[in-house]
Amino acid sequence: MPDGGRRFIDSVKPLLRLMPTVPKPKEALSMGSRLFWTFLAITVYLLMSITPLYGLRAVSFFASPAIAVILGISFGTLTQLGIGPIVVAGIILEILVFSDLINIDMEDPEDQAKFNALLKLLSLVFGFLEAVALVVSGQLIPYSPGVLYGSLIVIQLFIATLIIVLMDDMISKGWGLGSGIALFILVAILMRMFAEAFSPFTPPGSVIPFGVIPALAASIYHALAGHLSYLMSILYNVSEPSLTGLIATIALALIVLYLELMEVSIPVAMVQYRGYKFSIPLKLMYVSVLPIIFTAYTVYFVGEGLTLLWSAYNKANTNPILNWIACAHVGPTGLLPCPNSLLYYFTVVPENINAAYIAVHIIMYAVLSMIFAIVWVNLAGLSAEDQARSIVQGGMQIPGFRTSQKVIAKFLDRYIKILTVVSGLIVGVIAALGDIAGVFGGGLGLILVVEIIIQYYSLALQEQLFEIYPGLKRLVGKT
């Protein structure tokens, strides 16, 4: 199987050479230059997210806000697909490489280049296929039913995917800071948070602005005129920003920040440097946000499947058996699932929320997140065995233990198993509580924002240190 994988990657090498690429800078760029290119990429992405698709009359389907946040989607614009094609291509390639279906040595620069080229190719293929699917299924409705406008929409989305792929390549190759994927996710979430906090625009049928800060000012004005109902309406609202959401955003952001900075220190010693001792930190949030991303996807796709089942077989809610699985009513603001149906619990914060939903939502997110955390640790090379292998190959040992991969793995396993389950539980509960409390950007979005900002802060400090002490870059193996 590995040889077949190798033959596959080599067989598509001529095709991979056709993939557009951004060359690495000839010399290391200054922090100022890298910030310039980073902000240029942000500006381009922002402009794309407000540029409507030419030839598009309407969008008939809107994905879950949580999914839109993860993928940086802005509906009806050039970022209709967001970073979705890159994320899907990346996950598929990681699984194929991990399972040895594609034999790629990520330590080998040539294989790494092949991997990156294959990632671009798959991203463009998925971008094209998704664009076609959106038009053919009627989720993106062109001006006219002919081929012309539909083709124009597909071409625009394909070119937009290509631009996003190249910007991600540019940032990752050293022109910018960090990862393009993380940067675009951060921009999308911050845009949503900013709108929910400060948007002065008034939604149809309302007399107060959408943003909670302008809404508070307008509600106080109406309250002074004797209309207290407006002030009460912004205290808590499932479908719109509220004061509860604002307070919860600040509180949960501080909690996530505190938890992200907590870590367990593992003492190690360098064998070749006379046992020089230091510590390797294992974060309390060991598995990061990947488990809750998979959880959000799972809940979303199950909910969509149940909605399709209801639409196809039980739209009148007359089947007593299907009513337990998929039952809903069409309300003035959208679909309202019946509280006694399974569909209700796979809907992210329905307007008719009750105590049972809150309990099930938190438990479901916590359990699924823990399961995905355990799976991801083994898939992503974060298990005790993987960490022990890295320690031994790095010429290190744990004081008081033999320099044996099995012995070190057994020692680390006590910590990593607990950290895996606990971190999965924490992100699941925080994301669920954030959804219920109405935090800006959603529970998952808030966790992503805090984590990405911490990553960029650490990266900025590191780059600043390298500029002051250039020798450090050679010492740690960075060129």
**What is the percent of the chain with per-residue pLDDT over 90, rounded to a whole number?**
43
Burial class (CB in 10 A: 0-12, 13-18, 19+), 415: middle
CA distance linking residue 302 with residue 408, whole number of Å: 41
Handedness of CA 222, 223, 226, 230 (dihedral sign): positive
Domain boundaries, the chain: 1-201, 264-479
Tell me the sheet residues that pair with 263. 283
Q: If pLDDT is split at 50, 70 and 90, which confidence band does 5 have?
A: very low
Burial class (CB in 10 A: 0-12, 13-18, 19+), 211: buried
Interhelix angle 84-98/180-198, nearest 10 degrees: 140
Whether CATH 3.40.50.460 fits 264-479: no
Two domains, one topology: 1-201 and 264-479: yes
In the CATH scheme, what is the homologous superfamily, with its name and number, of domain 1-201?
SecY subunit domain (1.10.3370.10)
**What is the percent of the chain with per-residue pLDDT over 70, rounded to a whole number?**
92
- DSSP annotation of 21 reads -
Per-residue pLDDT tens over the stretch 302-320: 988 898 899 889 889 999 9
Tokens read off for 367 = 């359990």
At 2 the pLDDT is 46
- DSSP annotation of 18 reads T
At 368 the pLDDT is 96
Residues 6+ apart with CB under 8 A from 116: 21, 169
CA distance linking residue 463 with residue 176, whole number of Å: 11
pTM for this prediction: 0.86
CA distance linking residue 439 with residue 408, whole number of Å: 42
Handedness of CA 358, 359, 364, 370 (dihedral sign): positive
Tell me the sheet residues that pair with 334. 331
CA distance linking residue 380 with residue 403, whole number of Å: 24
End-to-end alpha carbon distance in the chain: 35
